[in-house]
Amino acid sequence: MTAVDLPRNHLATRRSSLDLVLRARELGIVLALAALVAVTTISNPRFLSGQSIRDILLGTAILAVLAVGQAVVVITRNIDLSVGSVLGLSAFTVGTLLRDHPGLPVIGALLIGAAVGGVCGAVNGVLVRYGNVPALVVTLGTLYVVRGITYFWAGGQQINADELPGGFLDFGNATLLGIPYLVLIALLVLVITGVVLRSYRVGRELYAMGSSPQAARLAGISVGRRTIGAFGVSGALAGLAGVLFAARFGTIDAAAGTGYELNVVAAVVVGGVAVFGGSGSVWGAALGALLLTTIGSSLAVLEINQFWQQAIVGGLILLAIGADRLVAARVAATLKKRGSHVH
Amino acid sequence: MSTDRLGRFANWNVAIIAVTVVVLIVAAATVDNFGTAQNFGFLILDLLPIALVALPMTLVIVTGEIDLSVASTLGLSSAVMGYLWNQNQPIETIIPLCLLLGAVLGAINGFFVTVLGLPSLAVTIGTLALYRGLAFVVLGDGAVADFPALYTDWVTGNIGGTSIPNVLIIIVVLAAVFGVVLHATPVGRAVFAIGTSEQAARFAGVRPGRVKFWLYVVSGLVSGLAGVLWTLRYSSARADNGAGLELAVVAAVLLGGVSIFGGKGALPGVIAGVVLLASLQNALRLSDVSNEALNVVTGVLLIVSVLAPNLANAVRSSLQRRRHRPEPL
C-alpha cells in the first residue's frame, strides 16, 4: 500500500514496481517467521505442538488488536504510547464489573472495554488536536496518568480467576471450528480496519494526512476530526485488547499491560508502517505482532535467557526503521528517474 | 515580533521560577518535615538524576530532537557497574568504564539520528527497549550491593560539617558548564540556530549533524554518570534502576519553558522546572501519597507544561484578531 495513490492509467508500471518494493517487507517478515519456526522446531519439535501454536495465536491476537490501532495512528503521522496503560485500565474495569455483576454477557464486557478505551483515546486526540501538542508528549503523559489512575483505583488488590464468572473465562479458551474466539475477534478487527483503510474515503484521508498534513487540509480533509477519530480507534482497540487480556489470563492487577507500548510500536514499525506516516498497512502490523510473539515463544523453547526479549524488540525497531529509510531512498530515486520520462 | 516573543519567553521563565518559589514556601509551611535540613539533603539526592540528565536533554530538545533512551542508558550503566563489581574489578576502573559506556550508547543514538537521518523519536524508543533489555541480560533481575563505603558515603554525605550534600557540587558545576555553553558560546548559538531552522543554520556554516551527534554522546555520558551516582546512592546496582525517569526529565525540561518544537529555551528555567517537579514529588511523598499517584502528577505536569503556552498563545491571538477585526455588518 503506498502513501500516494498514483493515477492508475499511465503509471501502472510505476505502481507495480513500488508495490514490489513495499511487498518485499511483508515477504521478508514471512520468510523470517518461516526461518525462525524451522530452526526452533529442529532444535525442539515440541514447538509445533497444538498447545504451543495455540499460545502463540492467543498472544498474537492481543498484540495484533493493539498493533492495528497503533497503525491507524502512526499512518496519520502520530504515535500513541498510552496503549499499554489503556489496556490495563480497561482490563481492570471489566474485571471489577464482572466480579460484581457476574450476569454481564461477554459482548457487554467487550463493548464496555472498548468504550473505556475509546474515551481515553478521544482525550488523547483532543489534546493533540486542540492543544497543538505533539502526540509523543501527550501520550507519554497519559501513559503515566492512566496507569496511575488504575493503581489508585486498584489500591493493591487484584482480581483472581475464581472471582470471574465461568462464562467469561470459557470465552477466553473456547474455540469455533478449532479457532479460538480471541483470534477470530482479532481477525475481524484486522479485516474491517484493513478494508476501511484500503478502500474507503476515510481510510485514504488518513494516508493523505500522514503524507502531508498541509496538503490534506488544502484538499478539504477535516484533519482535526480525523486525528481525534484515529486516536479514538486506537484507544477503543486498546480497550478491547484489555478485555481479551482479562479473558485469556483471568488474573488482573493494576500492572496489566505495563510496557506493552514498546512491543506494539515494534510490531507496527517492523510490519512496515513508516513512522513518518502515510504508508504501511494493518496487515503488515499484524504480521509484525505474529513475528514478535513467535520470537518470545521460541526463546522459551530454545532455552535462551528470557531477558533477551526486550533487547531483541529494541534491535528490531532500529533494524526496521533503518530498512524503511533505505527503501524510501530507493523508491524516491526510482520515482525521480521515471518522473523525468513522464514530464 | 521578535521582542514580543522574547518578552513572552522571559515571562515563562520568570513565571516558572515564581511558581517554584511559591511551591517551596507553601510546602515548607504546610507539609511536616519538608523544611528540615535532613529533607533538604533527600530533596537534592532525589533531584540529582533528573537534574543531571535534564542538562544535555535541554540542548537536545532545543535542536528539535529528543532522547528517550536516557533512563535505559542509566539502567545499563548501573547494571554493568554491578556486573564488573561482581567480577572483582576495582571501582576506580569501573566508574570510567561506565562513563565511557554511556558515551558509546549516546554515540549509537547519534549515529542513527545524524548519519542515517532517522527520526530521533523512533530511534530512541528503539534504544530505550534495547539498552534496558541489555541491562537485564547483563545483570538479570538480581541486585548487586556492598559497594565501597568511601564512595557511597561521599554520595549520600554532606560537605564537611554543613547540611549541604556533596552531590550538589556536581549539579552546580555541570549546570554552570551547560549554561555557559548554551548561552555564551558559538556552540550554544549553533544549537539554537539548528532548532530554529536547520537549513538556515547549514547556510550559516553550522554543521547540524556534527553538533547533534556530539549532543547525543554528551547525553549518553551524563546518563552513564547518573547511573553510577544512582548505584552509589542506594548502594544497589539493578537492571531496572531509573525505569521511567525519561518522563520526569522531559517533563522538567518542558516545564522549564523549552519548546518541544526546538529553537527556544533557557537553562535557568529548566533548573526551576527540575526543582519544581522534585519538590512537588518530595512534598507529596511526605504527605503519604503513593509512587503510582506521583506518576499521575508528573504526567499531568508534562501535559500542562506543553499545553499552557500553546493555549495562552491561542487566547492571545484570538483576542488580537478580535481587536483588529472590523465590526460585523
Segments forming the whole domain that contains residue B179: 2-311
Question: Is A77:A217 a contact under the CB 8 Å cutoff?
Answer: no
Q: Which among A137, A145, A262 is the nearest to B260, CB-wise?
A: A137
Chain A residues within 8 A of B316 when measuring between CB atoms? none
> Mean per-residue pLDDT for A112-124?
95
Rounded to whole angstroms, the Cα distance separating B39 from B27 reads 12
Q: pLDDT over 70 for what percent of chain A?
A: 92
Q: Which among B66, B122, B306 is the nearest to A133, CB-wise?
A: B306
Please tell me the total count of domains within chain A.
1
Cβ–Cβ below 8 Å for A275 and B122: yes
Rounded to whole angstroms, the Cα distance separating A151 from A139 reads 18
Whether A324 has a pLDDT exceeding 60, the answer reads yes
Could you tell me if residue A145 is inside a domain?
yes
**How crowded is the C-beta side of B28, counted as CA atoms within 13 Å?**
12
Q: Which of A18-32, A279-293, B234-248, B300-314 has the lowest mean pLDDT?
A: A18-32
Question: Is B126:A333 a contact under the CB 8 Å cutoff?
Answer: no
Chain B residues within 8 A of A148 when measuring between CB atoms? 292-296, 299
Cβ–Cβ below 8 Å for B296 and A148: yes
pLDDT of residue A70: 94
Q: Which among A127, A147, A318 is the nearest to B295, CB-wise?
A: A147
A64: its cell numbers: 495484533
Kindly report the CATH number assigned to the domain that includes residue A79.
1.10.3470
Give the gap in angstroms from C-alpha A307 to the nearest C-alpha of chain B.
5
pLDDT of residue A123: 94
Question: Is A306:A281 a contact under the CB 8 Å cutoff?
Answer: no
Rounded to whole angstroms, the Cα distance separating A274 from A269 reads 6
> Mean per-residue pLDDT for A29-36?
87
B-chain residue closest to A152, CA distance: B293
Give the gap in angstroms from C-alpha A143 to the nearest C-alpha of chain B.
8
Cβ–Cβ below 8 Å for B295 and A149: no
Chain A residues within 8 A of B238 when measuring between CB atoms? none
Q: Which among B260, B292, B302 is the nearest to A152, CB-wise?
A: B292
Among A307, A325, A327, the strongest candidate for a mutation testing the B interface, having the largest count of B CBs within 10 A, is A307
Give the gap in angstroms from C-alpha B161 to the nearest C-alpha of chain A.
40
SS3 per residue for chain B? CHHHHHHHHHHHHHHHHHHHHHHHHHHHHHCCCCCCHHHHHHHHHHHHHHHHHHHHHHHHHHCCCCCCCHHHHHHHHHHHHHHHHHCCCCHHHHHHHHHHHHHHHHHHHHHHHHHCCCCHHHHHHHHHHHHHHHHHHHHCCCEECCCCHHHHHHHHCECCCCCCECHHHHHHHHHHHHHHHHHHCHHHHHHHHHHHCHHHHHHCCCCHHHHHHHHHHHHHHHHHHHHHHHHHHHCCEECCCCCCHHHHHHHHHHHCCCCCCCCCCCHHHHHHHHHHHHHHHHHHHHCCCCHHHHHHHHHHHHHHHHHHHHHHHHHHHHHHHHHHCCCCC
Could you tell me if residue A195 is inside a domain?
yes
Please tell me the total count of domains within chain B.
1
The strand pairing partners of B144, in sequence order, are: B237
Could you tell me if residue B175 is inside a domain?
yes
Question: Is B132:A330 a contact under the CB 8 Å cutoff?
Answer: no
Rounded to whole angstroms, the Cα distance separating A53 from A223 reads 42
Q: pLDDT over 90 for what percent of chain A?
A: 31
Could you tell me if residue B70 is inside a domain?
yes
Among A77, A120, A144, the strongest candidate for a mutation testing the B interface, having the largest count of B CBs within 10 A, is A144
CA angle A154, A157, A161 (to 5 degrees): 110
pLDDT of residue B2: 46
pLDDT of residue A232: 95
Using an 8 Å CB-CB cutoff, list residues of chain A that contact chain B. Answer: 79, 127, 131-134, 136-138, 140-145, 147-149, 151-152, 254, 262, 265-266, 269, 275-276, 305, 307-315, 317-318, 321-322, 325
pLDDT of residue B221: 97
Mean pLDDT of chain A: 85
Could you tell me if residue B324 is inside a domain?
no
Could you tell me if residue B298 is inside a domain?
yes
pLDDT of residue B270: 93
pLDDT of residue B169: 92
Residue-wise pLDDT for B125-165, tens only, equals: 899 999 999 999 999 888 998 888 888 888 888 887 777 88
Question: Is B74:B230 a contact under the CB 8 Å cutoff?
Answer: yes
Rounded to whole angstroms, the Cα distance separating A325 from A332 reads 10
pLDDT of residue A1: 44
Could you tell me if residue A269 is inside a domain?
yes
Could you tell me if residue A142 is inside a domain?
yes
Whether B91 has a pLDDT exceeding 70, the answer reads yes
Residue-wise pLDDT for B14-53, tens only, equals: 888 888 888 888 888 888 888 888 888 888 998 999 999 9
pLDDT of residue A256: 87
> Mean per-residue pLDDT for A174-179?
80
Cell 503521522 belongs to which residue? Answer: A77
Distance of CA B76 to the CA centre of its chain: 17
Q: Which among B118, B131, B261 is the nearest to A325, CB-wise?
A: B118
Whether B329 has a pLDDT exceeding 60, the answer reads no
Q: Which of A107-121, A308-322, B82-96 has the lowest mean pLDDT?
A: A308-322
Taken in order A180, A186, A192, A194, the sign of the CA dihedral is: negative
Give the gap in angstroms from C-alpha A47 to the nearest C-alpha of chain B.
24
DSSP class per residue in A275-333:
TTSS---HHHHHHHHHHHHHHHHHHHHTT--TTHHHHHHHHHHHHHHHHHHHHHHHHHH
Rounded to whole angstroms, the Cα distance separating A144 from B285 reads 17
pLDDT of residue B327: 58
The CA-atom distances, in angstroms, between B64 and each of A118, A131, B198 are 31, 19, 9
**Whether complex ipTM tops 0.85:** no
The CA-atom distances, in angstroms, between B112 and each of A316, A318, B98, B108 are 14, 8, 22, 6
Q: Which of A85-89, A112-116, B67-71, B283-287 has the lowest mean pLDDT?
A: B283-287
Could you tell me if residue B319 is inside a domain?
no
Among B121, B246, B259, B292, the strongest candidate for a mutation testing the A interface, having the largest count of A CBs within 10 A, is B292
Q: Which among B118, B136, B290 is the nearest to A310, CB-wise?
A: B136
Instruction: Decide: helix, strand or coil at residue A202.
Output: helix
Kindly report the CATH number assigned to the domain that includes residue B12.
1.10.3470
Give the gap in angstroms from C-alpha A162 to the nearest C-alpha of chain B.
27
Which residues have CB under 8 Å from B184's CB, separation 6+?
none
Chain A residues within 8 A of B317 when measuring between CB atoms? none
Cβ–Cβ below 8 Å for A140 and B250: yes
B282: its cell numbers: 518530595
B-chain residue closest to A151, CA distance: B292
Cβ–Cβ below 8 Å for B296 and A145: yes
Residue-wise pLDDT for A187-243, tens only, equals: 999 999 999 988 888 889 889 888 888 888 888 888 888 899 999 999 999 999 999
Which residues have CB under 8 Å from A184's CB, separation 6+?
A176
Of the candidates B165, B185, B211, the residue with the CA atom closest to the CA atom of residue B60: B211
Residue-wise pLDDT for B183-223, tens only, equals: 999 999 999 999 999 889 999 888 999 999 999 999 999 99
Pairing of strands B143-144, A179-180: unpaired
Cβ–Cβ below 8 Å for A144 and B296: yes
Rounded to whole angstroms, the Cα distance separating A175 from B287 reads 51
Mean pLDDT of chain B: 88
Cβ–Cβ below 8 Å for B292 and A313: no
Segments forming the whole domain that contains residue A44: 15-336
A-chain residue closest to B239, CA distance: A307
B-chain residue closest to A267, CA distance: B126
Could you tell me if residue A327 is inside a domain?
yes
Confidence band for A8, pLDDT divided at 50, 70 and 90? very low
Cβ–Cβ below 8 Å for A321 and B126: yes
Cβ–Cβ below 8 Å for A140 and B140: no
Whether A340 has a pLDDT exceeding 90, the answer reads no
DSSP class per residue in A225-260:
HHHHHHHHHHHHHHHHHHHHHHHHH--B-TTTTTTH
> Mean per-residue pLDDT for B322-326?
66
Residue-wise pLDDT for A47-80, tens only, equals: 888 788 888 899 999 999 999 999 999 999 899 9
Neighbour count for residue B231 (Cβ, 10 Å): 32
What are the backbone dihedrals phi and psi of residue B106, each rounded to the nearest 5 degrees, phi first?
A: -65, -40
pLDDT of residue B37: 81
What are the backbone dihedrals phi and psi of residue B42, each rounded to the nearest 5 degrees, phi first?
A: -60, -40
